[in-house]
Homo-oligomer: A and B are copies of this chain.
Amino acid sequence: MTAKKQPEKSEEETPEALTARKEEFSEWYHQIIKVADIIDQRYPLQGFLVYKPYGYEIFDRILRILEDMLAKTGHKKVYFPALIPERLLGKEASHIAGFHDQVFWVTKGGATDLAEHAALRPTSETVMYEMLHLWIRSWRDLPVKIHQSTTVWRYETKHTRPLIRDREIHWNETHTSHATAEEAVAQVKEGIRIYQDLFKALAIPAIWLSVADVFAGAESAVEPYTVLPDGRGLEMGSVNNLGQKFSKPFDVKFKRADGTEDFVYQTCYGVSERMLAAIVAVHGDDKGLVLPPEIAPIQVVIVPILFEKGKETVLEHARHLRDKLVQTGWRIHLDEREISAGAKFYDWELRGVPIRIEIGPRDIERKTVVVVRRDTGEKVAEIEGKIISRITSLLTEIQSSLLARADAYHKSKIAPAKSVKEIAAALKKGMIAQFAWCGDIKCAANTEKEVDAHFLGYEWSEKNVSDVCICGKPAVHTGYVGKTY
């Protein structure tokens, strides 16, 4: 890996401010993940990120929402080893072909050269299915639905980009085994539904695309894409129907009630830290992060407006308000730091706290507080007695309003196109293109070459397409072409 030299402290001395505007997306993104305390990319190994407390708390909340959803739908949390003996990784031919050049190899233990090299898991199919061979014997053992939240490692040779293309990747991966192909198909739908619910909690819109060239070892795959402000499609995960592609080489067999035997039918699905990238990129603005209330580490921040006179009275009121609000179960923070109110406003706007409450001497006189929305900047005075119901309705309102805004924006980034020329024009305008597609992979490949972009896939949920493809043949799908990461 490329070692970076030790970063200089002076680098840190530069003001921690967001100076880029969101229009300059790439620069803005790199600044915001740093100054809003999401990650630190100065760790001296390329593609290996340090998650700072604020960033990790957001990601942890995402994981907990997902894990709760998985638990409610009968998925069990497990842990499987991070190291994979080379022989195991090679059991499924196309899988090893897809990953062999992308894995980190452990070759030594202390000073000893290891007899068999081990890969750091790039994904856990081979690790898990080796054990499922032992766990599954009869139809009574099925389905098996397991998942883990871990890191995986991939020796990316492409340009790395924090939270988008890293060499150490945080994700949750789920693996299921079933008695019939139909059950596996139904499971794919459940997986998609879970992720759709999750993305709703993040207020992130996504289009679900069936993949034309599926991942190493899968039969079919569906991937959620969200279009970022720079017009690139960000793949946030994947849901794969593996059929019997792995169960055969790994000999994961089961006995039916009638005594016949078959290999299990499997699915796997995962979502990654890219969700965090999406939250930053989709909702953020020139002032910083804008966090959906469901995942915000702090949902309401209280900033006391202090003057020399009556300082203690205001603080007392603010503390009283904090204690009252905390009891509702929301995540409340009272900022008592000895810096100016303006500096606090700046800080919490940068960190995307959904609601700010200001309370000063005049508010106390009037028995009101000032409530400010981070997403719209809207500022209203509310009487103290009604603050709980106001906050309750505002948090719901902000959550749905963020999703609606993101949805509208997302639609505006997808251009219907009738020809290769129109596709090229859409890409130029920073959009992805949607077009009627004949279903021929060669047609997709040609288009990719002509417009220098990727064929992302075709709509997963569509019913009937009665149109003509850009190549002139009858269309059967709605395809998408766009720049990606």
Binding site for B on A (CB under 8 A): 1-3, 6-7, 9, 11-13, 40, 42-45, 48-53, 56-57, 60, 76-83, 85, 87-88, 100-112, 114-118, 120, 127, 130-131, 133-135, 137, 146, 151, 153, 155, 157, 168, 170
Contacts and interface: CB of A to CB of B under 8 A. Distances in A.
Main secondary structure of the interface of A (DSSP, over half): mixed
Contact of A105 (B6, B9, B106): B106
A98 to B, nearest CB: 12
Given A48-B81, A133-B9, A104 B108 contact: yes
A79 B170 contact: yes
Nearest to A115: B3
B1 A81 contact: no
A2 B180 CA distance: 37
Given A3-B87, A77-B56, A78-B56, A109 B43 contact: no
Contacts of A79: 50-51, 56, 151, 170
A57 to B, nearest CB: 7
B118 A45 contact: yes
Contacts of A80: 43, 50-51
A33 to B, nearest CB: 14
Nearest to A131: B50
A9 B133 CA distance: 7
Given A1-B114, A3-B115, A44-B88, A134 B82 contact: no
15 contacts: A1-B83, A1-B118, A3-B115, A6-B130, A12-B134, A45-B83, A50-B78, A51-B78, A53-B77, A56-B79, A57-B76, A79-B170, A82-B151, A102-B110, A112-B155
B48 A77 contact: no
Contacts of A88: 44
Copies in the complex: 2
Question: What 9 pairs across the A-B complex have the smallest Cβ distances?
Answer: A109-B155, A53-B76, A105-B108, A101-B110, A48-B81, A51-B79, A3-B116, A107-B107, A104-B106
Contacts of A76: 53, 56-57
Q: For A13, A78, A79, A120, which residue has the most chain B Cβ atoms within 10 angstroms?
A: A79
Contacts of A52: 78
B77 A146 contact: no
Nearest to A116: B3
A149 to B, nearest CB: 10
A115 B2 contact: yes
Contacts of A87: 3
A240 B115 CA distance: 36
Contacts of A40: 131, 134-135
A260 to B, nearest CB: 17
Contacts of A2: 115
Contacts of A170: 79
Contacts of A53: 76-78, 146
Contacts of A7: 134
A137 B101 contact: no
Q: Which of A12, A45, A112 has most chain B Cβ within 10 Å?
A: A45
B134 A42 contact: yes
Contact of A43 (B48, B110, B115, B127): B127
Contacts of A101: 110-111
A434 B85 CA distance: 45
Contacts of A60: 77
Nearest to A155: B109
Given A53-B77, A57-B77, A78-B53, A3 B85 contact: yes
Nearest to A7: B134
A116 B11 CA distance: 24
Contacts of A106: 104-107, 120
Given A40-B135, A53-B77, 15 more contacts: A1-B83, A1-B118, A9-B134, A12-B134, A42-B131, A48-B81, A50-B80, A50-B81, A83-B153, A100-B110, A101-B110, A103-B109, A105-B106, A106-B107, A108-B117
